[in-house]
Chain A
Amino acid sequence: MTKKLDLLDIQGNVIRAYGRFGFPVARYVFLNIRNSAKGRQFIGEITKKVTTSVDWGDGPGQIKRPQCAINLAFTYQGLKHLELPTASLMGFSPEFAAGMKTRKDILGDDGPSAPRFWDPIWKTNRVERHKDVHVFVALNAQSQAILEASYGELVNTINQYDGGLVIIGGHLGENGALLDYQDVNVLMKNGKPTANEHFGYSDGIADPVFEGMPRDAQNPGGRGKQLEDGTWAPLATGEFLLGHIDEAREYPPAPDPILLSRNGTYMVYRKLHENVGTFEAYLDEHGKKYPGGKDLLAAKFVGRWRDNGAPLVKAPDAASKAKFDAEFAAADDAGRDNMLSNFTFDDDMSGAKCPFSSHIRRINPRASLEMIHEPGDTPGSLKMNKTAFDTPGALSNRRRLLRRGLPYGICKDRNRDDGNHGIIIMMINVDINRQFEFVQQQWINYGNDFKAGNDKEIILGNHGDGDNNGLPSKAVIQVDPNSDEAPYILTKIPRFVETRGGEYFFVPSMTALRMIAKGIVDPT
């Protein structure tokens, strides 16, 4: 029987990337709890407004689409100050308890990404009790006016608790202003919303699909897990929701009681500044030298063409891209999603189309890690080792992340780095260490699994500058090993993306929110 999830119990941001559901603007607000009882009362009140994952409709008996979606999450410190029992707190994962800042060495948050350069709110988090981030409130609205009104209501609600909890500010905004909240918004082009981030790439393509997910579970092509026969199925629910069976046929580790954790999950919040000036300059410099030209080079960085996200494995050159574009223009939404997501690296095991250090190959290598080179093979060539694992996705199914979040700021001058522009990325997984931290440490900032030595992922890697911040970075754009072309080596890659803050959060189910609010979480 097909798995059916309790959508009324799961917070809406787990299932929906709101930006793609008609909510182009959002505001993230962070609270510090000063009085535990009042903090719980506030949680009880705001929980009534929290948006679930349920399907919306205007018919009788249906839940209407909200003007503004509201979601909540908590840090470990926050749960402590809401007075969860110690035995429950001890059931949370060690990295969640420790917090993102202490994980800087694993995450590669060094050099300009080091916590001492983070926005004040994140720099002072976990330093002084009254500046700790405890509660995350996300407002995703259908318009800026609705967002402002909803924020006003939130502030009013908070004020009713006589300082029992306060908004903590310190988010860096335009011209160095420090704001009480983090605003994000879909980037507009010619008055129309886009799925782009500030470097110009389409974002949020091929987000994972898991069992029980409404709508998407029917279309797992390229987004779920690949089975032995090459077909696709949704990933196990337990990779993204606690209290469900995961890809190892086990329940992921979770705190007691089960009602506290079931249908909840962990969320990784990261503010990533994008050095647009550096990116454009580097792309220009190498675009002139790279035989394929600037547009193809930009595509090689990510594994997708910048204009419409066409994957390089399907459109590796100008001719195939033109054909892809014609089909893409004629396709409906489902067809387009399929064209963008449904592919493998099986015909590109040597990386000639999509380089090993490109963004999409590193973030989700699909079956491409099952590669070998045997004596007698063409030098530089790799091929699929079909017998090594039970299924093609064996090495990647347990490293998947749901990606939420939107860009922030506006890039006014593409020659400069210092504007207020970047992306707030929120990644959802049940095991921060196994999923997010592994991908960040082993696949983004290190290349050994891709037979790329210590080459980092081109866009997100914590590239060194050769002076104080490690060795200068390089990456290789592979070519067909049977051709006479030479691989192109990207030298001295600068840091395109810098971390400006972040933290690990727990996203409780609706049941758990109500229990936390009542103070009745009981692990015995």
Chain B
Amino acid sequence: MAGNISGNAYALTILSPIIDGFTQDEIAYADIVRNHLQDWNALSNSPMVAVPNTYLCRYFVLDDVYTESLPGAGVLDTLSDFYPVISDPRRRKMLPKEDHLKSRYLVFSSNFYCGPNVDLDGYLTGMWNAMSSSITDVWQYCYGFKDVLEADPAQRPERFVAYMKKCQRSAALFFVGSNDEPLDEQLKALYLKQEFSRFAADNQGLDTPTLKSNFRAFLKRVAPTNVSSPTWAAGKYRL
């Protein structure tokens, strides 16, 4: 799936079919899945924050494909409108049928840092390790996910990776906003940029020796080469 990769960024698209069933409370499984996803909005941050190297991701329930008009209407159809050699009912029968999905889908679309070796397995394993209970909350209603749940706990990360790969589609949905570096590098860069702006504002107009000394103290405090600290936390969306 080379089209899914841009530099060191990977665009992962997962479509997991949701079982056509319902609970004792008369709620369809797909709606339960959506409820779980909507409840994540009420949390202080997304469970995906804990998944290493996620640039940006989206979850949603795909109910069906949407159509805006009858398919068809090529040149011949237009001609036929003017010179109706074929009867209208017959012409309509010849038109392609409207497409619909066979089931409702849980869609997971993620852009992450895959590194030069394109490590999808590593990313998915990291995802399972970081949020297996949230994953189970939503994916338990999907076809085939019981292979993961029924496996021996030690086997589950591996089964999860296999399951996700089975659900993977070749679509390449890239979101903007990453610069090809590992996430912790990017977070550190944003942190440094913000802190440096503050430094510039707080120190303008000072004499050179003071400026130099303040800058040394600044460098010591922000530790540019230490990506892990101090830095921005993943999932930070406000300054």
Contact = CB atoms under 8 A, between A and B. Distances in A.
B204 A471 contact: no
Nearest to A470: B239
A414 interface: no
Interface stretch (A60-68, A275-283, A484-492): A484-492
Interface in A425-476: 454, 471, 474
Contacts of B239: 454, 471
A406 B205 CA distance: 39
Interface residues of A, number: 8
Contacts of B202: 491
A488 B200 CA distance: 9
B201 interface: yes
A129 interface: no
A491 B205 CA distance: 13
Contacts of A373: none
B201 A289 contact: no
B204 A486 contact: yes
Contacts of A289: 205
12 contacts: A289-B205, A454-B239, A471-B239, A474-B197, A474-B201, A486-B204, A488-B204, A489-B200, A489-B201, A489-B204, A491-B201, A491-B202
B144 to A, nearest CB: 44
Nearest to B204: A489
A489 B200 CA distance: 8
A289 B197 CA distance: 19
A370 B135 CA distance: 45
Nearest to B194: A453
Contacts of B201: 474, 489, 491
A488 B197 CA distance: 12
B25 to A, nearest CB: 36
Interface residues of B, number: 7
Interface in B197-218: 197, 200-202, 204-205
B206 to A, nearest CB: 11
Contacts of A488: 204
Interface string A480-510: 0000001011010000000000000000000
A474 B200 CA distance: 11
A492 to B, nearest CB: 9
A423 B34 CA distance: 49
Nearest to B197: A474
Given A454-B239, A474-B197, A491-B201, 5 more contacts: A471-B239, A474-B201, A486-B204, A489-B201, A491-B202
B219 to A, nearest CB: 19
A486 B201 CA distance: 11
Nearest to B203: A489
Q: Which of A289, A454, A489 has the most CB of B within 10 A?
A: A489
Contacts of A491: 201-202
Interface in A181-226: none
Nearest to A290: B205
B91 to A, nearest CB: 35
Contacts of A454: 239
A289 B204 CA distance: 10
Contacts of A489: 200-201, 204
Interface string B165-203: 000000000000000000000000000000001001110
A491 B197 CA distance: 11
A474 to B, nearest CB: 6
Contacts of B200: 489
A210 B200 CA distance: 44
Contacts of B205: 289
B131 to A, nearest CB: 31
A471 B239 CA distance: 8
B107 to A, nearest CB: 29
Interface in A275-316: 289
Nearest to A490: B201
A53 to B, nearest CB: 44
List 5 A-B pairs, minimum CB-CB distance, nearest first: A489-B201, A491-B201, A474-B201, A489-B204, A289-B205
A488 B205 CA distance: 9
A162 to B, nearest CB: 54
B98 to A, nearest CB: 32
A37 B220 CA distance: 75
A489 B206 CA distance: 13
A489 B196 CA distance: 13
Nearest to A492: B201
B17 to A, nearest CB: 38
Contacts of A486: 204
Contacts of B197: 474
Interface string B205-239: 10000000000000000000000000000000001
Contacts of B204: 486, 488-489
A289 B200 CA distance: 15
Interface string A67-78: 000000000000
A392 to B, nearest CB: 26
A505 to B, nearest CB: 35
A454 B193 CA distance: 14
Interface string A334-349: 0000000000000000
B210 to A, nearest CB: 15
A275 B200 CA distance: 28
A471 B238 CA distance: 11
A471 B197 CA distance: 13
A285 to B, nearest CB: 12
A471 B202 CA distance: 15
A496 B200 CA distance: 24
A486 B239 CA distance: 26
B193 to A, nearest CB: 10
A385 B201 CA distance: 30
A486 B205 CA distance: 9
A521 B119 CA distance: 67
B103 to A, nearest CB: 36
Interface string A251-289: 000000000000000000000000000000000000001
A474 B197 CA distance: 10
A253 to B, nearest CB: 21
A486 B200 CA distance: 10
Contacts of A474: 197, 201
A471 B201 CA distance: 14
A454 B205 CA distance: 23
A524 B215 CA distance: 72
A74 B166 CA distance: 61
B119 to A, nearest CB: 30
Contacts of A471: 239
A396 B211 CA distance: 41
A389 B221 CA distance: 45
A491 B199 CA distance: 11
